[in-house]
Amino acid sequence: MFSVTKIEYLMVYTHGGLPIYSKCFGHFCQTAFKNPELLTGLLSALESIPPTLGDGLSLEAVKMGYTTMRFSKVMPGGQSVVIGLSEDDLATAEAVFNGVKQLFELDKFKDVDWGYVRRDIVDAFTQELVDRVLVDVMHERGGFHDECPLGDMCPMHTRADTADSRGIWSIIRSKYDELRRRMRAKMGE
């Protein structure tokens, strides 16, 4: 019997760290969010470490619990994508990254300012991403299904039009702001 790689979670955000879309599609949110502050601290630290070590360094993958977290920063507008897979499957990760990249290249999304986006644009992006891109990419890889038992109430479920008020992104933003304040205070000493 062979194992099928599943998408456990997907996070898409702007170059500045503003969320465009994030959602758990498995059981990751039930295990990772026993202490969400630890997860947000980990994500912030992971993304900030490679550039501090040297030019051209980047983070590609991290094993986190039963998932492999893959990072990509190759989107046309500087957007970042983080995907959690049930298996360390680079081919599946690359297929998802390419699908998301193609989505951003569509005329209706390529010039969008995701920091100030209208609900209808977010609705269209979400529908294209979840109902077309992920389904198409995963079709020959065992299929795509949202198996999160919390559905849209998942603490990871965030969209560009709701990011200020809920979910993991508000925690990440506040932790990042706190870290930046501490670093500035330290530099001023």
Domain ranges of the chain: 7-187
pTM here is 0.75
- Model confidence over 30-46: pLDDT tens digits? 776 555 445 545 665 66
- Model confidence over 84-128: pLDDT tens digits? 898 888 999 999 999 999 999 999 998 898 878 888 999 999 999
Tell me what pLDDT residue 103 has: 95
Query: Could you give the CA distance from residue 167 to residue 171 in angstroms, rounded to a whole number?
Result: 7
SS3 94: helix
7-187 belongs to which CATH class? alpha beta
Distances (CA, A) of 31 to 5, 39, 142, 166, 175: 19, 11, 24, 19, 20
Q: How far apart are the first and last CA of the chain?
A: 60
Check residues 151 and 51 and name the one with the higher pLDDT: 151
